Amino acid sequence: PSEHGTWGAVVSCFFIDTAHDIFEYVECISRMLMVGGVWLNLGPLLWHFADQLVEKSIELSWDDVREVIVAYGFDILEERDVKCTYTVNTRGLMQQQYTSIYMHAVKTGRPTPAA
């Protein structure tokens, strides 16, 4: 709580899809950032707990995640798909590639949902 609104930037890479509840992650990032603070994100939406029946998992599309981000007081200035290789052996024949989402958002002074 002492650091609420004190951070100027958050960078998340291959991270937001590790959430059991994406709303909690977005709320935490919104609380951390000062008005005008920047959030940069790059990664896929694989939802790590999607196949685990005993785990709570909210799995949203990017369109829905975008709405959540905006609802928590962000303006999204840029978003685009980016091809990202993952765990690659450059000398091997197999390479794994994700279509990831790059997002650049700025926290506004708009009210956000009550916690």
Q: Please list the pLDDT of the chain residue by residue as tens digits (115 residues).
A: 688 999 999 999 999 988 888 999 999 999 999 999 999 999 988 876 666 667 677 789 999 999 999 999 999 999 999 999 887 787 887 888 889 999 999 999 887 776 5
Cα–Cα distance for residue pair 77/79, rounded to 1 Å = 7
Q: What pLDDT was estimated at residue 59?
A: 83
Pair 107, 74: CB distance under 8 Å: yes
Q: What's the pLDDT at 114?
A: 64
Residue with tokens 């002074």: 109
Q: How far apart are the first and last CA of the chain?
A: 13
